[in-house]
Amino acid sequence: MSKYDVAVIGSGPGGYVAAIRCAQLGMKTAIIEKYHSLGGTCLNVGCIPSKALLDSSHHYDDAMKHFEEHGIEIPGEIKINFEKMIARKKQVVDTTCDGVQYLMKKNEIDVFTGMGSFVDATHIKIDGEKSETIEAANTIIATGSKPGSLPFITLDKERVITSTEALSLKEIPKHLIVIGGGVIGLELGQVYKRLGAEVTVIEYMDRITPAMDKTLSKELMKVLKKQQVKFHLSHAVNKVERNGDAVKVTAKNKKGEDVVFEGDYCLVAVGRRPYTDQLNATAAGVKINERGQVEVNEQMQTNVPNIYAVGDVVRGIMLAHKAEEEGVFVAEVLAGQQPHINYNLIPNVVYTWPEVASVGKTEEELIAAGIAFKAGSFPMRALGRSRASGDVDGLVKILADTTTDEVLGVHIIGARAADLIAEAVTAMEFRASAEDIARMSHAHPTYAEAVKEAALAATADRALHV
Ligand code: FAD
Ligand code: NAD
């Protein structure tokens, strides 16, 4: 029987990064993945394929709507070859997943393909093409998450679908009904809207992306409405029916009336659930809490001392970079180090266009906590860079402590917000004041100038270009 210092179950961003860091720190490491392709949800059916389709559909949208204003004329009709778009997405995924395979080899990590399940706290059975058992002094559970649903919905995965199927459709829907105005619903909704589908988003709460700062939710909805995405807020879906190629979704509005939506596809995007289904955690004595998460302490350690867990399968926001931080954290704990994760500074991004990105506290959270703050905003349309590219929608909002001027939250909607947020994370990690950011030189012309201007506005209402 092969023996390891560490076995990692699951090869998503939490698992494969944990494995690499363990190997870097000199531990004999194995990784177990049920699929042949490494990389987990993120690389196979999450972050990477969704961004590939967002980028492809963005190019099409630009060609259809914006080339002309730049003086670019395309003789003949611009057409979508959807099969090719999906094939390109697959190629991007395959190349990225092969990269993980390469990294495992480079770091001398043994890869086992098959479903991993605990025999006891130090033995894991792997059921793949053959069945084998390995021994591990320590195990890291990184089994991730699966799409969630609602109790009354039958996901037939043809017409009533999750994000996984939405990333590999055979045709562009005529009318895509999206249940859930969260990040998946909006990203994939925008993909199909750009490709010509009618898109209707039904959201239970009174705003989209409910966890984000309200200013961003409002601004994003305004922009998406301009792009003809339809929204029905404060609607609770209570029935989804399929009849041949048609789907019918019924939701209760605020007045308690049933509202019926008819389309040809329904994307269910109401959150994801931790995945431990076939792990046999009880055989190792590992506690799963009432939310289905593997329960961990501050060291990411389960109730069984030699078993740890990271990523979507534990508490906290379900993001690839959060999973990665936790993967590195556990490896360093196992090596006797004292690592640290600043959960307040895990940035959150929605890859619509304009992109939405935020870090730190929202205005609503600061109000609820009774923290006195000042807010400074700057509109993207006031930037020379935005006018040059034509990306004028959006704004940057900076929240700073009234007394100390320390930056407490940065909220951005606009072109390349996903990249701009890194400056805010860096500044906040070093506990910068709004004035610190305001006094740093930002290259001209860039979108980043909006961050400087919002910081000037937060410092003492002294933005220069509004
Ligand atoms: P996962 O990536 O889910 O990996 C878990 C792996 O474990 C899987 O490969 C699974 O097959 C394997 N596994 C499970 N059980 C077993 C077992 N018993 N034996 C063997 N193997 C097992 N996050 C971002 O930060 N940015 C984005 O842009 C983004 N976009 C997304 C888009 C979509 C459509 C979706 C669905 C998610 C997106 N996410 C994004 C979220 C991100 O994918 C997850 O937060 C991330 O993948 C979590 O990583 P993980 O390692 O915890 O788990
Ligand atoms: P989400 O939590 O972002 O959004 C789900 C939405 O569905 C919420 O707004 C919720 O109020 C709504 N909802 C719940 N029940 C409903 C009902 N009965 N009727 C109508 N609306 C209802 O979840 P998601 O969009 O499914 O994404 C899952 C996770 O994947 C996210 O939490 C995120 O962490 C991750 N993800 C991240 C990215 C990214 O980082 N860009 C992209 C995709 C997914």
Distance between CA atoms of residues 414 and 208, nearest Å: 17
CA of 213 to the centre of ligand 1 (A): 25
Residue 153 counted as domain residue: no
**Structural domain contains residue 42:** yes
Which distant-in-sequence residues (6+ apart) come within 8 Å of 34 by Cβ?
113, 114, 115, 116, 128
Neighbours of 257 (CB within 10 A): 9
138 and 334 Cβ atoms separated by less than 8 Å: yes
DSSP class of residue 333 equals H
Q: Is 245 domain-assigned?
A: yes
SS3 state of residue 313: helix
Question: Which of 304, 321, 341 is the last residue in one of the domains?
Answer: 341
* pLDDT at residue 94, rounded to an integer: 98
* Pairing outcome for strands 115-120 and 123-127: antiparallel
- Overall number of domains in the chain: 3
Same domain, 19 and 139: yes
3-state secondary structure of 175: strand
- Structural domain including 30 reads 3-146+273-341
Note whether residue 155 is domain-resident.
no
Overall residue count recorded for the chain in this entry: 466
Residue 162: exposure state from Cβ atoms within 10 A (0-12, 13-18, ≥19): buried
Query: Does residue 93 form part of some domain?
Result: yes
Protein residue whose Cα sits closest to atom 30 of ligand 1: 47
Q: Indicate which CATH number applies to the domain containing 449.
A: 3.30.390.30
Q: Are residues 24 and 126 in the same domain?
A: yes
**444 has catalytic annotation:** yes
Ligand 2 pocket residue status of 237, Cβ below 6 Å: yes
Q: Measuring CA to CA, which residue among 390, 458, 403 is closest to residue 427?
A: 458
Tokens representing residue 115 in the block: 């479903």
User: Is 167 close to ligand 2, i.e. is its CB under 6 Å away?
Assistant: no
Q: Are residues 165 and 213 in the same domain?
A: yes
User: Which residue has its alpha carbon closest to ligand 1 atom 45?
Assistant: 319
Task: Give the per-residue pLDDT at 449.
Answer: 98
180 lines ligand 2 (CB under 6 A): yes
Question: Do 8 and 142 reside in the same domain of the chain?
Answer: yes
Q: Which of 225, 242, 270 is the last residue of a domain?
A: 270
Q: Taking a C-beta distance cutoff of 8 angstroms, is the pair 269, 191 a contact?
A: no
Same domain, 438 and 389: yes
For residue 309, what pLDDT is reported?
98
One domain, residues 283 and 139:
yes
Ligand nearest to the CA of 270: 2
Same domain as 411, residue 278: no
Spacing, Cα 32 to ligand 2 middle (Å):
28
d(CA 308, CA 297): 9
What's the CA gap between 341 and 307, in Å, rounded? 19
Is 154 part of any domain? no
Closest CA to 412 of 450, 453, 439, 381: 450
Name the DSSP class of 317: -
Classify residue 427 as left (phi > 0), alpha (psi -120 to 50) or beta: alpha
Domain of residue 222, CATH code:
3.50.50.60
How far CA 121 is from CA of 8, 124, 315, in Å, comes to 13, 8, 22
Q: Which one, of 292, 297, 296, lies nearest residue 146 by Cα? A: 292
DSSP one-letter code for 312: G
Q: Are residues 228 and 302 in the same domain?
A: no
Q: Could you tell me if 9 and 142 lie in one domain? A: yes
Quick one: 277 and 138 in the same domain?
yes
Radius of gyration of the chain (CA): 24
Q: Is residue 226 part of a domain?
A: yes
Q: Looking at the structure, tell me whether residues 386 and 414 fall in a common domain.
A: yes
**The pLDDT value given to residue 315:** 98
**In whole angstroms, what is the distance from residue 244 CA to residue 131 CA?**
41
Q: Is 354 in the pocket of ligand 2 (CB under 6 A)?
A: no
The pLDDT tens digits along the chain (466 residues) read 899 999 999 999 999 999 999 999 999 999 999 999 999 999 999 999 999 999 999 999 999 999 999 999 999 999 999 999 999 999 999 999 999 999 999 999 999 999 999 999 999 999 999 999 999 999 999 999 999 999 999 999 999 999 999 999 999 999 999 999 999 999 999 999 999 999 999 999 999 999 999 999 999 999 999 999 999 999 999 999 999 999 999 999 999 999 999 999 999 999 999 999 999 999 999 999 999 999 999 999 999 999 999 999 999 999 999 999 999 999 999 999 999 999 999 999 999 999 999 999 999 999 999 999 999 999 999 999 999 999 999 999 999 999 999 999 999 999 999 999 999 999 999 999 999 999 999 999 999 999 999 999 999 999 999 9
How far is residue 145 from each of residues 42, 312, 319, 384, 393, measured CA to CA in Å? 10, 6, 11, 42, 34
Q: Quick one: 331 and 349 in the same domain? A: no
Residue 465 lies inside a defined structural domain of this protein: no
8 A C-beta contact, residue 354 and residue 413: yes
Sheet holding 395-401, edge to edge: 348-350, 355-360, 407-414, 395-401, 373-379
Asked if residue 237 lies in contact with residue 434, where contact means CB atoms within 8 angstroms, the answer is no
Burial of 295 (0-12, 13-18, 19+ CB in 10 A): middle
| Beta bridge partners of residue 136, listed in sequence order | 4
**Diameter over CA atoms, the chain:** 69
Select from 270, 286, 310 the last residue of a domain: 270
